[in-house]
Amino acid sequence: MEEKILYSAIQPSGNLTIGNYIGSIRNWIGLQSKFTCFFAMANMHAITVRQDPAQLRRRTLELAALYIACGIDPEQCTLYVQSQVPQHAELCWVLNSLTYVGEMERMTQFKDKSAKHAENINMGLMDYPVLMAADILLYQAELVPVGQDQTQHVEIARDIAIRFNNRYGETFRVPEAFIVKQGAKIMSLQEPSKKMSKSETENPNASVYLTDDRDTIIRKFKRAVTDSGSEIRFSEDKPGISNLLTIYSAYRGVSVGDAEREFEGKGYGEFKLAVGETVADALAPVQAEQKRILADKAYLSGILAAGAERAFKAARKTLSKVYRKVGFYQGD
C-alpha cells in the first residue's frame, strides 16, 4: 500500500489561540494513526514579520511541547523545526522561478499583512506562500489539515505542483486541503465578523489563548459580544452566539444541534459561563502537560533532533529528484 502522507505546520509567532487548536491541531489528533504525519514549527515563516529572537526561540519550543500536550504522538509522527531542514529554503528557491509575482500580490494574507505592517513589506512576506508550497511538496503530502484562512495558500501549492509536473514530468503529489466543517474559522469574541488571531494585540479580550488561566478564560467569555435577541441558536444573523456554539461543541465533542438543545430556554449569561467553564476545564490539563514537557529539556530536544533527522531524509529524497529534473548538476 502506498504511504499516505499528511503535512501541517503552525508559526511560533504569538500566543496560540483556541482558534488554532479547533481549526488545526484538534483535527490532527484523529488523523495521526491513519497517515504518516509531519508537523512543523514554521519558524522560517514567522520571521516575515519582525520577531524578537529570544522570544522566537522560546516560542518554538513551547509550540513543540504544546503539540505533544495536545495529543500528538512524537513516536508516531515527525515533529520538527522548519529551519533545521535546509531543503525547505532550497525547494522554495526552485519553486520561485515557477511562481508569478502577480499571483503572490493577489494573496489575501499578503494584502492583509502588508496593510498591517506597511513599514515592513519585505520579500519574505510576499514569498511566504511559495515557502509554504515547498513545505508541503517536499514531503509528498496528500492531505493538509488547516483552518479556512490557509485554503488559498494550499490552492497555490496545488497550482505550483501541477505546473512543475507539467513542465518537468511527474514529481510532486498534488496536495489537498482538509478543512473541518465546524470550526475552520473561529471568530474574535469582541468582533465576531473578524477571525480570532494570535497576532491580535489591540484587544486582549478578543482572543482566548491556550495559555490563559481559568479566571481569564471565564472573564473573556463573559464579556464576549453577543447578538440581539435571547435565543441560543446557530444562524447567520447571530454571529456571536454561533461562534460560541461552535467553540462549545468543539470542546465538548458534541454537535452544534446537541449544544442548541442543551441550552434551549436558557439565557445568554448562563450559556457564556458554560462555554467559559468548558474551555477552562479542557485547557487546564493541556497547560500542565505542556509545562511538564518544557521542563524536561533533554526529552524535548531528543524529540526534535529525531524529528529533524527523519524530516531531513524525506526532504532530501524529493529535493534530489527536483534538482535532477530541473538540470542541476549533483556530482557524477
Residues 172-191 that bind ligand TYM (CB under 6 A): 184-186
Q: How far is the CB of 327 from ligand TYM (least distance, A)?
A: 27
Q: Does 256 bind ligand TYM (CB under 6 A)?
A: no
Residues in the interface with ligand TYM (CB under 6 A) total: 26
Of these residues, 111, 185, 194, 198, which one is catalytic? 198
Q: Does 158 bind ligand TYM (CB under 6 A)?
A: no
Q: How far is the CB of 242 from ligand TYM (least distance, A)?
A: 13
Q: Among 9, 64, 72, 81, which residue sits at the site for ligand TYM (rule: CB under 6 A)?
A: 9
CA angle (47, 113, 220) in 5-degree steps: 95
What amino acid occupies position 253? Answer: G
Tell me the CA distances in angstroms from 182 to 147, 191, 214, 256, one per residue in order: 10, 19, 25, 9
Task: Check: CB of residue 177 under 8 Å from CB of residue 150.
Answer: yes
Task: Check: CB of residue 208 under 8 Å from CB of residue 22.
Answer: no
**Nearer of residues 11 and 278 to ligand TYM, judged by Cβ:** 11
Task: Check: CB of residue 209 under 8 Å from CB of residue 19.
Answer: no
Q: How far is the CB of 207 from ligand TYM (least distance, A)?
A: 8
Q: How far is the CB of 34 from ligand TYM (least distance, A)?
A: 18
Q: Among 91, 138, 144, 303, which residue sits at the site for ligand TYM (rule: CB under 6 A)?
A: 144
The residue whose Cβ lies closest to ligand TYM is 23
CA angle (152, 158, 164) in 5-degree steps: 135
Cell of 283: 485547557
Separation of alpha carbons 131 and 90, rounded Å: 9
Q: Does 5 bind ligand TYM (CB under 6 A)?
A: no
Q: How many CB atoms lie within 10 A of CB 51?
A: 17
Q: Does 24 bind ligand TYM (CB under 6 A)?
A: yes
Q: How far is the CB of 152 from ligand TYM (least distance, A)?
A: 10
Of these residues, 4, 34, 113, 266, which one is catalytic? 113
Tell me the CA distances in angstroms from 3 to 24, 30, 149, one per residue in order: 22, 17, 28
**Nearer of residues 7 and 209 to ligand TYM, judged by Cβ:** 7
Task: Check: CB of residue 226 under 8 Å from CB of residue 241.
Answer: yes
Q: Is 185 a catalytic residue?
A: no
What amino acid occupies position 206? Answer: A
Q: What is the DSSP letter of 174?
A: P
Residues 97-136 that bind ligand TYM (CB under 6 A): 132, 135-136
Active-site residue set: 113, 195, 198
Residues at the site binding ligand TYM, with contacts judged by CB under 6 A:
7-11, 19-20, 22-24, 42, 45, 132, 135-136, 144, 146-147, 149-150, 153, 184-186, 195-196
